Structure 1
Amino acid sequence: MNKIALGLGVAAMLVTGLAQAVQTESRTAKIASCESAKPAQMVSMIKNDFLQNRLPRWADDKKLLGTSTPVVWVQDDQIVQNGDSWQIPLKVRGTKVDRTYTVKVDCKAGDLEYSLPE
């Protein structure tokens, strides 16, 4: 095998591995319609989704936080609602650090997106 073919093979493997890593660390999800949700319902949905669906898949976040069972909360005065869209800062306390995830929810489209931990 020549050096160019070997180099292309290695590059393809790296791209494939990166794509798989990005898929397992996806920060977006589809959710059921939440157009008539109240703030308390949105907070409950976000907290449950984070703890049950997202964090178990996010190895880097678990390592950063130092736990797979952090304490999570939302300060009600920081929730922003604009029609069917919400922006909710999710506070997360691990054994190593505290971080905030900005969660954007589009109830009409059924989209949920988490920022990287800040």
Structure 2
Amino acid sequence: MEEYNMTGFRKPSAKKSFSARTTGRINRSVKRATNPFYGKKGAGFIKDPERSIKNSIYHKTTTGGLSSIKSSKAEQSDDLSADEWVKVILFFIVVFIVGGFIGVTFF
């Protein structure tokens, strides 16, 4: 059981990564139609609780090599909430008005 007590980085596998990206839409739709638990959160715990617990511990104590790079880029997204947009717009309005006033006064 030593394999489940790992910490640190996961070893990347090009074969598994490629397989995960190319699993067909048709395969997933067939599985969803035939298996009511396919793709549902918590279904793994119902099917095999011991494996599910070990996997959750493993995923919390290790980080993937490429996924950590991708997640750091995702955290730096440019999406702003509605409140932040209002602040940005008000800032530009104030800068435009003050800048126009200063420009008319001094030039």
Q: TM-score, normalised by structure 1?
A: 0.23
Q: Select the structure that is richer in strand.
A: 1
Task: Using structure 2 for the length normalisation, give the TM-score.
Answer: 0.25
Higher relative contact order structure (alpha carbons within 8 Å, sequence separation ≥ 6): 2
Higher helix share: 2
Q: Which has the larger radius of gyration?
A: 2
